[in-house]
Amino acid sequence: MRLDEYAGYDAVGLAHLVRTGEVSAAELTELAIAGAAAVDPQLNALVELYDDARDRGVAADTAPTGPLAGVPMVRKDIGAPEAGKRTELGSRLAEGLVTHRDSHLTAAFKEAGLVIIGRSATSEFGCYGTVETALRGTTNNPWKPGHTSGGSSGGSAALVAAGVVPIGHANDGAGSIRIPASCCGLVGLKPSRGRVSAGPGAGEPNFGGSVQLVVTRTLADTATVLDAVGGPRPGDPFVIPGPDRPYGAIAASAAAGDVGSLRIGLTTAPWGPGVVHPEVAAAVRATGEALEALGHHVQEADFPFDFEQFEHPFMDLWALGTAGPIVGIGERMHRPLSEEFLEPVTLAWLEHYHRLTAGDIPHALDQVNRMARRAGVFFTRYDLLLTPTLAQPPVPFGMVNGTRTDLDAAGNARALLEFNPYCPLFNLTGQPALTLPLAQSADGLPIGVQLVARHAEEAALVAVGAQLEQAMPWAARRPAVHVAGALPGR
């Protein structure tokens, strides 16, 4: 198999080839390694290629089990620790940190048969909407180097978009699955709070706002991974309803037209101080027209979002949710929380944390409850909400990163929310949200469109997403930096 052939399959397709004996897991691992060697010098997206990656591919051939047996993937350098491997959180503070047990998610990836070949780049402590770090440098967008691949899961997104692997682990506390998926032309599902376990090392990170899954190139891959890793684990704080049938089956039947008619509210109104790029707004409206043609009822909707009410609770909870881990890592690594080991904006967030009072957090949580209740009322009238994913196409480097010296925490939050106003609310409300690569800018940069559902109703997103994948296909698009332009595998 050549690299261009390998990159033409999604994970489900590659797993089928392994099951039928047409290709081996070891061969797929070799192709992923070759792809990384060919394109990562331009991307800077792979933090570490495991020295035992080839052995893992060989081992997968000896006992190929699971729905994605033999398929290579990367693990983001935060959020899903792996026993005996480093997890450095994109920060000099955690450089050299080795974890000693698999997270439930990492174990589930392995049980699904996925072959983890290495770690992908992330922003420092996953705090920023781009990957531009003091530790590892910048991760380029494969569609247009010099522009962000998004964050904080930008390394995974760049590697998947460039064809190195079909699946990249990602997590999302304020859009960190959806931002890079939108920037890199991928599918990115933020699951509901409680759908994927954060254990055993965490309960509800960022007050339940941070959740885990992957970025992929197809709905089938995302649905299959969700089937494999979703569901409660011992000690999880609560259990949410599952689908009536597997997400993969829902995607397959929806692609064949079995969905029904849903009520969909559409908005392109700006959520905050920024403006919505005309090409982004046009992409949302075109998606609404496609959904109408598919038999859904789509109408302009006034979603109850109040930026002034949102901004301060978001900042306070973000500061508290990130400061604790940072302090703990500093103690574990015996390093001071100083500019020697932390980026300037991270230090600014620590300053904001230290200014919090005992009353700030209950007030923030009360405001989150109010926002969730208003959203809940909206979703009694609509089944889905259709919005931009980001207010703009992928931006050049330097706008939303943690190495800037001219921003305090409030300035960083404002810069992020001008670029990324539509994602963070749904981390606070706990609802599932899906971004799809349904458009491109005049410059050829990807534009994502976001669909949001009620809590625990990922099935509706998977179904409608599969419909849109048929009606507005994106599979033929390839970025400028891609393994298909590299030397053939063999």
Instruction: List the one residue out of 432, 430, 426 whose CA is nearest residue 461.
Output: 432
Determine whether 144 is an active site residue: no
Query: pLDDT tens-digit profile of 318-356?
Result: 999 988 899 999 999 999 999 999 999 999 999 999 999
- CA 254, 257, 258: angle at the middle one, nearest 5? 65
Mean pLDDT, rounded, for 211-223: 98
- pLDDT of 490 > 80? The answer is no
- Band (pLDDT 50/70/90 cuts) for residue 456 is very high
Query: pLDDT tens-digit profile of 372-386?
Result: 999 999 999 999 999
pLDDT of residue 399: 81
Residue 86 belongs to some domain of the structure: yes
- Band (pLDDT 50/70/90 cuts) for residue 489 is very low
Instruction: List the one residue out of 187, 189, 202 whose CA is nearest residue 230.
Output: 189
Write down the catalytic residue from 176, 182, 192, 441. Answer: 176
Determine whether 192 is an active site residue: no
Determine whether 176 is an active site residue: yes
Bridge-based pairing state of the strands 211-216 and 187-190: antiparallel
The DSSP secondary structure of 159-189, one letter per residue, reads: HHHTTS-SEEEEEESSSTTHHHHHHHT-EEE
SS (H, E, C) 361-404: HHHHHHHHHHHHHHHHHHHHHCCEEEEECCCCCCCECCCCCCCC
Query: pLDDT tens-digit profile of 249-302?
Result: 999 999 888 789 999 999 999 998 889 999 999 999 999 999 999 999 999 999
pLDDT of residue 452: 99
In sequence order, which residues have a C-beta less than 8 Å from that of residue 234 and are 6 or more positions away? 199
Residue 84 belongs to some domain of the structure: yes
Query: pLDDT tens-digit profile of 424-438?
Result: 999 999 999 999 999
Instruction: List the one residue out of 60, 52, 166, 170 whose CA is nearest residue 118.
Output: 52
pLDDT of residue 487: 56
| 346 token code pair | 């991270």
Residue 439 belongs to some domain of the structure: yes
Q: What are phi and psi of 385, to 5 degrees?
A: -115, 135
Query: pLDDT tens-digit profile of 136-182?
Result: 999 999 999 999 999 999 999 999 999 999 999 999 999 999 999 99
Q: Classify the phi-psi angles of 456: left when phi > 0, otherwise alpha if psi is within -120 to 50, otherwise beta.
A: left
Query: pLDDT tens-digit profile of 55-107?
Result: 999 999 998 889 999 999 999 999 999 999 999 999 999 999 999 999 999 99
Q: Are 450 and 389 in contact (CB under 8 A)?
A: yes
Q: Are 176 and 126 in contact (CB under 8 A)?
A: yes
Write down the catalytic residue from 103, 152, 182, 441. Answer: 152
Q: Are 408 and 136 in contact (CB under 8 A)?
A: no
Residue 490 belongs to some domain of the structure: no
List the CATH number of the domain containing 229. Answer: 3.90.1300.10
- Number of domains present in the structure of the chain: 1
| Bridge partner list, 439 | 447
- Put simply, whether the predicted model's pTM sits higher than 0.85 gets the answer yes
Instruction: List the one residue out of 225, 165, 218 whose CA is nearest residue 196.
Output: 225
Which residue segment(s) compose the domain that 177 sits in? 3-485
Collapsing DSSP states into helix, strand and coil, what is residue 290? helix
Residue 127 belongs to some domain of the structure: yes
Residue 477 belongs to some domain of the structure: yes
Write down the catalytic residue from 76, 85, 144, 190. Answer: 76
